[in-house]
């Protein structure tokens, strides 16, 4: 059988050999076991007194704790709009420290005007992709959920997935969308039994599994060729000069 010459065997002239490495299973599995309980941060996107996204966040917290996790919930009351103040604001620092502490996130947003709420987006916008060598979201797992006042929709969870990908998070396949949320929670704010609640259990179970699978490997999973190049002293100096923070 005739086998033509392969066009992709002529080398990699544009690759820096000093920074290039082929991923191996040895590197993936060469980890130091983590013994503390998996750590989860939950964000929700409504400040209403009777907030169904907060009720759903609490249900997720109960489930994750029952599965052996440690949970923190961030309450966005008092969080300023992005860029309306500096990052040393106490609520901003609280949010960032919780994200650094966490190994997985749950984001729960109402759907408003066909998308996630400004309260939800503001929280995410205050989380930088990186601060020097510190990465508040990269490598962490993420589960997304939404509540709707009307029929079932997936606009908010789809937008949350886009944001999770942009924040370089490991967004799990499963998700939850709760339609007509006012029917699904009782007067005490507890979610009623049924298929929608069962789906929330599924999401939390999957998030726990993915977090246990990846949390010991997060640093390796987000280690990137381009970023290894950027950490070279000469490269950092050139970038600083280009954006006006240093003289050439």
Indicate whether 64 pLDDT > 50: yes
pTM of the predicted model, to two decimals? 0.87
Q: What is the pLDDT of residue 116?
A: 96
Region 25-31: what's the mean pLDDT?
Answer: 85
Indicate whether 160 pLDDT > 60: yes
Measure the CA–CA gap between 209 and 100, rounded to whole angstroms. Answer: 20
Region 71-96: what's the mean pLDDT?
Answer: 96
Q: What is the pLDDT of residue 245?
A: 47
* Integer-rounded Cα radius of gyration of the chain: 21
Measure the CA–CA gap between 153 and 176, rounded to whole angstroms. Answer: 10
- CATH number at 35-243: 3.40.50.360
46-59 confidence digits (pLDDT tens): 999 999 999 999 99
> Could you state, in order of their start, the residue ranges of all structural domains in the chain?
35-243
């Amino acid at each position: 059988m005739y086998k033509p010459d392969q066009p992709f065997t002529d080398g990699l002239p544009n690759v820096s050999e000093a920074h290039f490495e082929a991923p191996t299973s040895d590197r993936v599995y060469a980890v130091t076991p983590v013994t503390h309980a998996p750590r989860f941060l939950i964000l929700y996107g409504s400040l209403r007194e009777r907030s169904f996204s907060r009720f759903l966040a609490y249900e997720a917290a109960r489930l994750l704790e029952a599965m052996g996790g440690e949970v923190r919930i961030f309450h966005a009351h008092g969080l300023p709009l992005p860029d309306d103040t500096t990052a040393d604001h106490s609520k901003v620092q609280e949010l960032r420290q919780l994200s650094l502490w966490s190994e997985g996130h749950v984001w729960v947003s109402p759907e408003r005007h066909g998308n996630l709420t400004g309260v939800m987006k503001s929280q995410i916008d205050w989380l930088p992709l990186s601060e020097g060598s510190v990465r508040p979201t990269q490598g962490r797992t993420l589960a997304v959920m939404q509540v709707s006042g009307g029929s079932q929709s997936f606009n908010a969870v789809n937008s949350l997935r886009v944001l999770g990908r942009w924040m370089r998070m490991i967004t799990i396949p499963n998700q939850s969308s709760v339609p007509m949320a006012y029917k699904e929670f009782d007067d005490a704010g507890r979610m009623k039994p049924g298929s929608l609640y069962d789906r929330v259990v599924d999401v939390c179970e999957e998030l726990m599994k993915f977090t246990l699978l990846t949390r010991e490997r997060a640093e390796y999973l987000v280690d990137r060729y381009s970023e290894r190049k950027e950490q070279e002293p000469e490269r950092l100096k050139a970038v600083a000069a280009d954006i006006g923070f240093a003289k050439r």
